[in-house]
Amino acid sequence: MKLESLLAYCTAAEFGRLTQQLQLMQLQVSDLRAIDIGLSNHSFCLTALHTSGATQRYLLRINAPVTDVICDRTNEVACWRSAEAAGLAPTLYWVDPLNRFYLAQWLDETSANAPNLTPWQQFSARQSLSSAELADQVRGHSPASLLHASQQLPINHTEQQLLSKLQPLLLGLRQLPAPALDISLARQWHIYVERLQQMRDSNNFAQHNAKDGAGWLQRFEQLQQFDCRSVLSQLDEVLIQHQYCHRDLSANNLLLTAERLMCVDFEYCCSSHPLFELVGVLATHQLSPVAQQQLIGGYLLQHPYVTVDALAALPAALDIFWLYSCAWALQMADGQCKDASEFFSWFDNYWQLVRK
């Protein structure tokens, strides 16, 4: 691809700022390859020749305007910088003054000791974990007893290696300074519902045909009728304080490089509930029940920010995760959506994972 092809994703003025920055960095682009043309941002591998003669690759991300209303870009950059300083994220070289572009270090996924773990994306969940299934796994246990019991059970070598990378990342992020942006689980739920109400009231939802319009409204009504109070109360009871939470640690946002797991995409990062960070990993990674139990026990054992009863509230955190996912699916099915069927399928899948 030519650099000019980026004009499909940004304005001429924005493109001008990018080219000016590349000139300031003394970089001449020789290749551009699309990596992920997603709903919230567009990522490219940019290869450039420096005037010194060195060739280097960069990650170029273009933030989609549709997510500017739901993402505090200043907070996103601050959270990225914090993780970068701890060696848990790639180097962020340049941030566009108006936050349309990020230029960052390109990371090749490599592992001499565990080549079977790359690419990390292979561990994306193929079968979703329901809150009821998680409740069965942890019932009657403390973090210590769950960890001990699961360590007595067989686990394959790949999952042992996987856990040896995941645990340090989770514990490392937990130790970072809590971001200034603090969002409780109840506040986030309120934000989602309020945003969907605004979409409904302004007719900014999928209604390219009558079926889509009726489907969106019916699913939004399901969400509104769900009483979150008892679920949120369980989580409040075990909370000591919020911590640094990436809030989107899916396998697609993790990269294994130089034997260390790093994370990208800090759009949802903030100070929030420690249990939400854990269930985000459980929900999005394909792990055996034994691996899940070892990850849970290791994360919650002597956790400084939740009470000793936190394990019993973990299924409630997963309920909230899937409810947020339902709300996200409806948000994506906005008035510009020509075919909402895929988003409705996601909603229906997430909905059946919540305990009713």
Which CATH number characterizes residue 88's domain?
3.30.200.20
Average pLDDT value over all residues in the chain: 95
Residues 138 and 233 in one domain: yes
CA 225 to chain centre: 26
Q: Is residue 200 part of a domain?
A: no
- pLDDT tens digits for 281-321? 999 999 999 999 999 999 999 999 999 999 999 999 999 99
Residues 62 and 157 in one domain: no
The answer, yes or no, to whether residue 40 has pLDDT greater than 80, is no
C-alpha Rg value of the chain to the nearest Å: 21
Residues 28 and 132 in one domain: no
Residues 78 and 183 in one domain: no
Among 105, 135, 154, give the residue marking a domain's end: 105
Q: Is residue 142 part of a domain?
A: yes
Grade residue 180 by pLDDT with cuts at 50, 70 and 90. Answer: very high
User: Whose CA is closest to 234, among 315, 326, 146?
Assistant: 315
State residue 38's pLDDT score: 60
pTM: 0.94
Q: Is residue 207 part of a domain?
A: no
The answer, yes or no, to whether residue 336 has pLDDT greater than 90, is no
Residues 223 and 76 in one domain: no
Residues 224 and 158 in one domain: yes
The answer, yes or no, to whether residue 65 has pLDDT greater than 90, is no
- pLDDT tens digits for 78-132? 999 999 999 999 999 999 999 999 999 999 998 888 999 999 999 999 999 999 9
Among 105, 126, 141, give the residue marking a domain's end: 105
Q: Is residue 25 part of a domain?
A: yes
The answer, yes or no, to whether residue 66 has pLDDT greater than 90, is no
Residues 148 and 98 in one domain: no
Burial of 1 (0-12, 13-18, 19+ CB in 10 A): middle
Q: Residue 332: which CATH number?
A: 1.10.510.10
CA distance 261 to 80: 15
- pLDDT tens digits for 252-267? 999 999 889 999 999 9
Q: Is residue 208 part of a domain?
A: no
Is the separation of the CB atoms in 71 and 59 below 8 Å? no
State residue 340's pLDDT score: 92
Domain containing 8 equals 3-105
Residues 324 and 263 in one domain: yes
Instruction: Return the percentage of the chain with pLDDT > 70, whole number.
Output: 99
Q: Is residue 196 part of a domain?
A: no
DSSP string, 18-51: HHHHHHHTTEEEEEEEEEEE-SSEEEEEEEEEET
309 by DSSP, 3-state: which?
coil
State residue 300's pLDDT score: 98
The answer, yes or no, to whether residue 215 has pLDDT greater than 60, is yes
Residues 85 and 226 in one domain: no
Grade residue 39 by pLDDT with cuts at 50, 70 and 90. Answer: low
**Total count of domains within the chain:** 2
| Residue partners of 55: CB distance under 8 A and separation at least 6 | 30, 47, 48, 49
Residues 95 and 119 in one domain: no
Residues 59 and 161 in one domain: no
Residues 51 and 99 in one domain: yes
Among 77, 105, 133, give the residue marking a domain's end: 105
The answer, yes or no, to whether residue 45 has pLDDT greater than 60, is yes
